[in-house]
Amino acid sequence: MSASDGLLDIYKLPEEQDRFLTDWEVVFISQQTKNLLLDYAETLKRLQRVSSAGLALRRAVLLYGPPGCGKTSLARGLPARWCAAARVPRAGFIHVNTHALFSGIRGGGQKNVLAAFQLIAEQATSGVPIFVLVDEVETLGTDRASISTEANPLDALYQVTAFFESLDRVARDMPNVIFLFTTNIPKAIDRAVRERVDFVVEIPLPDARYRSMILADAVRALARAYDVKDLLRLAGTDPPDPAWAEVVAETNGLSGRALRHVLVVASTLAVRSPVLGLDHVRAASAIVAHEEEQLRKSGGMYIESYQK
């Protein structure tokens, strides 16, 4: 990996793919969704020699949905998983550090965006497939109608325009580049982002089946610290044991990240016991669900009672 002045993180595949395969595996969603992403990557490789103008090909996909549901993990894991499945000898993965592109200097943000895309173009001259992740794309592709020119005299507009122009240039000139966008706030994205992607893929909150799978996976992760055999037995029956199913039902509305945090809380509740039991998980899920509800009511992180 090289830092490239902090604007980009650049990784070589397959040499560094092992660090990203786990990202792909720990996201429990429809296999159809995962297959769509893999097939899209394979399609773009096949269409490298096809005119993008003839197909209005954008070579980009947008993943959207609530926070904590695995959008970034899927985007990080896709290049490595595709390389492993397709047995691609060489590929690249670039993570754009969007926070590093902003600048307090007039014109600095626009300059950084142009510099970042110049670096991407330089990497793409190798001809190998290059995946580029722009996480929280609303930070660069902000809805221009919402930008106040009084607060920031045209700089934000110039930065967004530079982003779109750079995307168009790379899509036109570098057919081996695939862009992966993610967002928690689709309403904050400029319509021009939607017009520059081939697929918009929702990564929703997990349903009961996937919540059960996520919780069981988190339980297995604690097997070296606690006796979790009874928990795994309850979760492993088909259908799951009614007691386990009841706990899963109580976690309705939690994201994958929050579900895994349930087991962190449960292990804290069980820290004086060698066994991690269902009662610990049930109590922990109630705690996390209450925290999430308070966050929703408050609209943010400030949930202290004196602020209600």
Do 57 and 174 touch, CB atoms closer than 8 A? no
Mean pLDDT of the chain: 90
Q: How far is the C-alpha of 205 from the C-alpha of 207, rounded, in Å?
A: 7
According to DSSP, residue 230 is labeled H
Element (H, E) at 11: strand 8-13
Please state which of the four CATH numbers 2.40.128, 1.20.1740, 1.20.1640, 1.10.8 is assigned to the domain occupying 208-298.
1.10.8
Q: Which pTM was predicted?
A: 0.89
- What confidence tens digit (pLDDT) does each residue in 213-261 have? 999 999 999 999 999 999 999 999 888 899 999 999 999 999 999 999 9
Nearest in space to 235 (alpha carbons), one of 224, 225, 223: 223
Confidence at residue 189, expressed as pLDDT on a 0 to 100 scale: 93
Sorted by sequence, the CB contacts under 8 Å of residue 180 that are 6+ apart come out as 60, 61, 63, 75, 78, 131, 132, 133, 134
43-59 residue pLDDT tens: 999 988 887 777 888 89
* CA dist., res. 40 & res. 36, Å (int): 6
The residue ranking higher by pLDDT, 4 or 227, is: 227
Residue 92 pLDDT class (50, 70, 90 cuts): very high
User: Is it the case that residue 31 has pLDDT exceeding 60?
Assistant: yes
Cis peptide before 14 (omega within 30 of 0): yes
Mean pLDDT of the region 147-151 = 65
- In the block, tokens 């209450």 appear at 290
Query: What CATH architecture does domain 4-202 belong to?
Result: 3-Layer(aba) Sandwich (3.40)
> Where are the strands (E) in 124-253, listed by range?
130-134, 177-183, 199-202
Relative to beta strand 60-64, strand 199-202 is parallel
Angstrom CA distances, 254 to 22, 175, 190, 205, 306, stand at: 21, 39, 28, 7, 25
How does pLDDT run across 171-190, given as a tens digit for each residue?
889 999 999 999 999 999 99
Domain borders along the chain are 4-202, 208-298
To the nearest whole percent, how much of the chain has pLDDT over 70? 92
Residue 264: pLDDT over 60: yes
What's the confidence (pLDDT) of residue 114? 93
Average pLDDT over residues 87-110: 85
Q: What is the pLDDT of residues 65-74, one digit of tens each?
A: 999 999 999 9
Asked if 272 and 280 touch (Cβ cutoff 8 Å), the reply is no
Q: What is the pLDDT of residue 146?
A: 80
Confidence of residue 280 (pLDDT cuts 50, 70, 90): very high
Cα end-to-end span (Å), the chain: 46
- The whole-number pLDDT of residue 104 equals 64
- Whether 108 shows a pLDDT value over 60: the answer reads yes
Give the torsion sign (CA, 110, 116, 122, 125).
negative
**Per-residue model confidence as pLDDT tens digits over 111-148:** 899 999 999 999 999 999 999 999 999 989 988 888 76
Is the pLDDT reported for residue 302 higher than 50? no
- Lowest average pLDDT, out of 15-29, 154-168, 209-223, 262-276, goes to 154-168
153 pLDDT higher than 60:
no
